[in-house]
Amino acid sequence: MSPDRAHENQEELDAETPSTPESIALTFFDADPGLVFLLEDFKDAYTAYARISDTKLPSFESMKLAEGHPTGTFDAIVLAIRQGGSNTAEALDATRLSALSAIAQHGTRLYAIVETDGTDPEAARGVLARLQRNAQTGNILWGGATVLAMGGLSAKLCGSPRMGALRRPFSEAIDKLVGAVRMGCSVKRAQQLGGADVSVFDSDGAVMAKPAPPAPLWHLVAAHQNHP
């Protein structure tokens, strides 16, 4: 199947078969404190929105992906990954990608939270393309992603206000991902249903977020968040 046709099929599935997940895997390849924090933030936001709307919460399971065959599968997978270092597109080899397929069932959607090492979200395009291709050639539906150009400083921000000046752009991006997962469709489709202009979306269906302050100021302030 050509990439164009696979993308068309993805759009058709989004339009016709949205399904609210009953089980969600919160996953990572490396137990990085920043990535764990981002997954916990996703879970907390999901829980808050579910309580506000008085809807049933899915079951959540946090896990480090590794070679092997887990005992369970999930309706949705949220993968947190840092772009750069050992997590370049080339580093997403068959072993790592097969670990995702091992916890998927027919109709499982894969979403990603990608933190970049710099403050340019475009740096994540290679990782997103690799994840999307893997989903489209396997038994997983690509749900899109949120890219957080936090410069690898996510762990430094865990104590700052979620909607404060430093975290707000990233929290809003996480909330868009939460909305898509709750609706059981892609990020792009969820934004479209919400009335947003989706012409700005690339084919990987990612929401991009970068720091509000200029990059030099961002690094200076964010790096000292946990210092007395």
Report the distance separating Cα 175 and Cα 116, nearest Å: 18
Q: What is each CA distance from 162 to 87, 111, 142, 169, 180, in whole angstroms?
A: 26, 21, 27, 10, 20
CA distance 46 to 63: 18
Helix, strand, or coil here: 215?
helix
pLDDT single digits (tens) 44-59: 999 999 999 999 999 9
pLDDT exceeds 60 at position 13: no
* φ, ψ of residue 8 in degrees (nearest 5): -65, -40
pLDDT at 11: 52
| pLDDT tens by residue, 206-215 | 999 988 766 6
List C-alpha distances in Å: 41 to 30, 141, 220: 17, 23, 23
pTM of the model: 0.86
Residue of 228 and 216 predicted with greater confidence: 216
Strand 206-209 to 23-28 pairing = unpaired
**Tens digit of pLDDT for each residue in 139-181?**
789 999 999 988 878 888 888 888 888 889 999 999 999 999 9
Which pair of tokens denotes residue 197? Answer: 């202009």
Could you give the CA distance from residue 109 to residue 211 in angstroms, rounded to a whole number? 28
Task: Please write the tens of the pLDDT for every residue from 67-94.
Answer: 555 668 899 999 999 887 555 555 677 7
SS3 9: helix
All structural domains of the chain, each given as residue ranges with its CATH number in brackets, are 3-216 (3.40.50.360)
Vertex 197 angle, CA 57 and 14, to 5°: 45
Residue 228, pLDDT score: 42
